Amino acid sequence: MRDEVLEGLREGSIAAPHHRDRQPGVVLVGGGPGDPELMSVAGRKALMEADVVVADRLAPRELLGELPADVELVDVAKLPRGRSAQQEEINRLIVERAVAGKRVVRFKGGDSFVFGRGYEEVIACREAGVPVTVVPGLTSPVAVPAIAGIPVTHRGVTHEFSVVSGHLPPEHPESLVDYDALARMRGTVVLMMAVENAPAIAAALVAGGRAAETPVAVVCDGTMPTERTVLATLGTLAATLREEAVKPPAVIVVGDVVRVAFPDAFPAVLPDRRSADASD
Amino acid sequence: MRDEVLEGLREGSIAAPHHRDRQPGVVLVGGGPGDPELMSVAGRKALMEADVVVADRLAPRELLGELPADVELVDVAKLPRGRSAQQEEINRLIVERAVAGKRVVRFKGGDSFVFGRGYEEVIACREAGVPVTVVPGLTSPVAVPAIAGIPVTHRGVTHEFSVVSGHLPPEHPESLVDYDALARMRGTVVLMMAVENAPAIAAALVAGGRAAETPVAVVCDGTMPTERTVLATLGTLAATLREEAVKPPAVIVVGDVVRVAFPDAFPAVLPDRRSADASD
């Protein structure tokens, strides 16, 4: 069987994709959920070939210790405060260095395009005529639950999952999330940046029709040595977060996949949709 | 500034996480979207340390050519047909080899828990008393759009995205997706395994209230040398898929993030929510 598999491989070979060219310009590298080995091979290669690394607070910073000594390291956590001012400063400094002929790696946690403001940097580079490429990362809303033993999908339980930024409370006029519609979705909801607003979000989901008994897992410091998982329901989430003194960063998983992962904690019987669901 | 960053690193070091133990048992490795370098460092390490590799059709198979010659390679594409029978056979053979003291890598495309049936294999291992660990992968619904230049989120455009399996048509009695609720969500929808059912899904989204002018990008063979992106709207998707003879695998992205990525193709002005949205 081995020979047959290898036979298939000879038919086509992978051309060097655009994100592996070694040119001056900006490379957005998604650093994954925290563990430095949960980063792509392409991303690590780009990082190690950089002239300048501009690193976010939640990027896997241990890897910065492996950079050659002549690499310029810019720590975004030390830039002027205020998110808009900080973003403008980042845009300015990555463009400036790329224009000067440097290869700049913009090093973020997770994936650059999942609430990472990465595309704002793409636009800034394009407007300045600077070549920009993207190396995607392992995204925390999938990878953090996985490492904690929670699948975001499971056959017979859900055919979809939604990833939601909870940085604004549901009633906030700038919130772009329709929590009524979200509550009506039957699948998994993964809340990011939501520790502060989780009580209001859980209440909004229950008000929208989702059962108060819906299981919830809060994964704190996912993939890191300090990782811990706290279990609750939508109805008990506010009290549990308070009692367990949960602090960011945390990934909050809502839905019956949590019951699948922790059947002893949520012993209620799952609706038996599996037998009628052989096709997925 | 470099010294200050490195100072921070000395405070804590990353303990060897559980997924890096080298023990007999089963390791589910997410192989990423296709490009062999878009795979985690931990996943590649697990692959190269395996005694047995059980590989899916959409895993990055080029890497199989790098395995030591004495590794047993099982090609899932060659197992008996019928998804349930095939899954039972996979469960049986990974458990059998792990019980015999082998280190088995179950090698899948994307992430094992995103429509990958990975948790079924976790359950089979647990029931047999076989240690099982997970190395998450770069998931295709995020990584494929990213490589094609499409962010799944963008500030001022969406605070959420939904990932949906389109393997069943909306009216199918076993579908677990509420397309009415999905249509009411304002954010990005990423459809996986949906080429066949995309016309019915697009119609369901429009029937649920999503504008027929909503931009759509279909990324075919994402991250591979044959990658191409086809643009449409929800209203034109069915005709476009037919005219362009789109075949699986494809990732279908629906929403205003497609307009952000291809402003010339979708010149209509975005609702100017950005100025009121400085906090995200």
Summarised one tens digit per residue, pLDDT across range B99-108 is 999 999 999 9
B118 and B167 co-located in one domain: no
Is residue A277 domain-resident? no
Taking the model in full, what pTM does it have? Answer: 0.89
pLDDT of residue A18: 41
Nearest to B14 among A64, A83, A225 (CB): A225
In this structure, are residues A5 and B55 in contact, taking their beta carbons and an 8 Å threshold? yes
pLDDT digits (tens, 9 = 90+) for A170-185: 999 999 999 999 999 9
In this structure, are residues A132 and A230 in contact, taking their beta carbons and an 8 Å threshold? no
DSSP A34: S
pLDDT of residue B11: 33
Q: Considering only alpha carbons, which residue of chain A is nearest residue B2?
A: A73
3-state secondary structure A200-249: HHHHHHHHCCCCCCCEEEEEECCCCCCCEEEEEECCCHHHHHHHCCCCCC
**Residues in contact with A79: Cβ distance below 8 Å, sequence separation at least 6, in sequence order:** A86, A89, A90
Rounded to whole angstroms, the Cα distance separating B112 from A146 reads 9
Q: Which residues of chain B have pLDDT under 70?
A: 1-22, 268-280
- Which single residue is written with the structure tokens 């070694």? A22
pLDDT of residue B268: 61
**Catalytic annotation present for A56:** yes
pLDDT digits (tens, 9 = 90+) for B203-236: 999 999 999 999 999 999 999 999 999 999 999 9
Rounded to whole angstroms, the Cα distance separating B86 from B34 reads 22
pLDDT of residue B43: 97
pLDDT at A159 over 60: yes
Contact call for B277 and A174, based on CB within 8 A? yes
Q: What is the mean pLDDT of residues A43-67?
A: 95
**Residues in contact with A25: Cβ distance below 8 Å, sequence separation at least 6, in sequence order:** A98, A103, A104, A125, A130, A131, A132, A133
Percent of chain B, pLDDT > 90?
82
- Amino acid at position A176, single letter: L
Percent of chain A, pLDDT > 70?
88
ipTM score of the complex? Answer: 0.89
Total of domains in chain B = 2
A11 and A123 co-located in one domain: yes
B150 and B228 co-located in one domain: yes
- Which single residue is written with the structure tokens 């019987």? A269
pLDDT of residue A22: 61
The distance of B9 to chain A (nearest Cα, Å) reads 6
B137-146 CB burial, b ≥16 within 10 A, e <16: bbbbbbbbbb
CATH for B177: 3.30.950.10
Interface list for B 22-61 with A (CB within 8 A)? 30, 32-33, 35-42, 44-45, 55, 61
Report helix, strand or coil for B116: coil
Report helix, strand or coil for B80: coil
A30 and A119 co-located in one domain: yes
Q: Where are the beta strands (DSSP E) in chain A?
A: 25-30, 52-55, 72-75, 103-108, 132-135, 160-165, 188-192, 215-220, 228-233, 250-254
pLDDT digits (tens, 9 = 90+) for A215-263: 999 999 999 999 999 999 999 999 999 999 999 999 999 999 999 999 9
- Amino acid at position A87, single letter: Q
CATH for A26: 3.40.1010.10
Range of the domain at A177: 141-261
In this structure, are residues B64 and B169 in contact, taking their beta carbons and an 8 Å threshold? no
* End position of a domain, from candidates A138, A161, A182: A138
